[in-house]
Amino acid sequence: MNLPAQVPPSTESLDVVVVGEALTDVVISAHGSSEHPGGSPANVAYGLGRLGVATGLMTALGHDERGAAIDTHLHSAGVTILPGAYSLDKTSSATATLAQDGSATYDFDVVWDLDPVFPGQAPQVFHTGSIAAFLAPGADAVKGVLQKFRNDCTLTFDPNIRPALLGSQAEALQTFEEFIELSHVVKLSDEDAAWLYPRKSLEETATHVLGLGAGLAVITKGGQGSLLASSESRITIPSVQTTVADTIGAGDSYMAALIMGLLTRPTDSFAPEVLEALGRTASMAAAITVRRPGANPPTAEELRWHLEQAAV
């Protein structure tokens, strides 16, 4: 798969716009605590920037040290923060407590409100998900943005379910399915799928997502690989075997590489060979990320090298 060269984005020539929360991850482990810029949509935007994709982030930040740190972090990857971002009294935060196996549990101090301001032309891909799609009052604004751009670009959606921030399961499921109806590509984890559809297998969940209107349904399964399903084909990609430092940002790195793959695929179809390339590229990006602490996704050069080595 061709990887794009690193090109600094401008608001007039963005390939991808991500809308969603940017917050501070407070990570607590046996070694102490530390703070890092985070939030699933912001991580996806950062991952895309690292992969050389011209990316903008529509978000909400506070005028404080945490907001400034997030700004610096995103700009280091070439991500453009779109106008109107500094709208909160304080920057939101999520506390991640790491278990011995590297997995994380989360607690949130989040306010999500959004007054979308989008300069320039429509991007090729518009991505959203996570807290931004579910938490009022900002979720309604996000839905409005998707409705506006659905006919102009590819819309991708990752629910990244955080039960601690949601209402009832029934309410969250209704919201999830409303977003599917607006989306072309839907990616969720096996944990998301089990929470949303506890009586369905992953295969059945993928079929259901396609039936609601998505063209591609992707379900990641951690060490068990990932399932990619379309009306044309359905395949399972094995995970890349690696040593895990922690799993923070792995799903977001997968999502960023998946979006990059959508931009660079040679055809609009989701035939088996296309799904194979998308899945293997995204799985490699996630594997590189879990090898090192925090949400630290690969650059285009790193990803290209690892893919080439895996092909030998």
The total of other beta-carbon atoms located within 10 Å of residue 34's CB is 12
pLDDT at 11: 52
**Cβ pair 187, 158 in contact under 8 A:** yes
pLDDT at 293: 78
pLDDT grade, residue 7 (50/70/90)? very low
- Superfamily of 16-311 according to CATH: Ribokinase (3.40.1190.20)
pLDDT grade, residue 184 (50/70/90)? very high
Give residue for tokens 């306010």. 111
Does the pTM of the predicted model rise above 0.85? yes
Give the tens place of pLDDT for each residue, 27-55: 888 888 888 898 999 999 999 999 999 99
Indicate if the pLDDT at residue 302 is higher than 70: yes
pLDDT at 252: 96
